Amino acid sequence: MNKTDTTTQKRSTYRHGDLYRALLEAAVELARQGGKDAVVLREVTRQAGVSPNAAYRHFADLKSLLQAVAWAGQSMLAITMEKELATIQLSGDKAQDARAELRAVGTAYLKFACAEPGLFRLAFSEQPDMSNAANGASQGRSGLTPFQILGKALDDLVEAGELPAERRPAAEFFAWSAVHGLAMLNIDGPMRGVDSAQFEMLGQRLIDMVERGI
């Protein structure tokens, strides 16, 4: 029995070995499939092959588990952004490259929201405050959180002279709001049901708006 295999199989030992991770993985999987309401403590422990109360040795309560899932979701979003950024072929033109960087961040955000709606919704609805903007559990391979990746894109935009410095402060919030809003409206808002091709086009036009207006 593989120690890193934290899935459903019955275990022979009394101790689990890596229950924290097993619970988190099961919870993430449930969130992916059925959203927040599908993350049910008893089902999570069931999938980890453990009694319900065992979870309380690793998470204070269900809320804490959901928080951990949210961080994991943010981390995946960060990775999606990093991947999208890696596809940019630099032109050498600083202005053009900075704009492409911002577009990539926004595009990745929308892509992730569409691909993982359950996880996405959780990722940005279970946070007590902004203090986790640099949380370790929510960063990607580069060590940056999604918020920080966006910040860097905006910094580069300023450096390239494409964004007036006086408009830089709090610009994260505006760019973020635009893509976040579209994502939410698409996931469980009044836009739900538009096909993905059309959504992609709307997404690009939304990013156009941000580029013009930010």
Residues that bind DNA in the complex, under the rule CB under 7 A:
13-17, 19, 40-43, 50-54, 56-58, 61-63
Min. distance of Cβ 125 from DNA in angstroms?
17
Min. distance of Cβ 49 from DNA in angstroms?
7
Task: Name which position in 11, 127, 152, 200 contacts a second copy (CB under 8 A).
Answer: 127
Tell me if 56 sits within 8 A of 44, measured CB to CB: no
- Given DNA, a second copy, none, residue 95, with its beta carbon under 5 to 8 Å by kind, binds none
Task: Name which position in 4, 14, 190, 195 contacts a second copy (CB under 8 A).
Answer: 190
**Minimum CB distance to a second copy smaller for 36 or for 83:** 36
- Given DNA, a second copy, none, residue 170, with its beta carbon under 5 to 8 Å by kind, binds a second copy
- Given DNA, a second copy, none, residue 79, with its beta carbon under 5 to 8 Å by kind, binds none
Subset of 148-187 contacting a second copy (CB under 8 A): 170, 173-174, 176-185
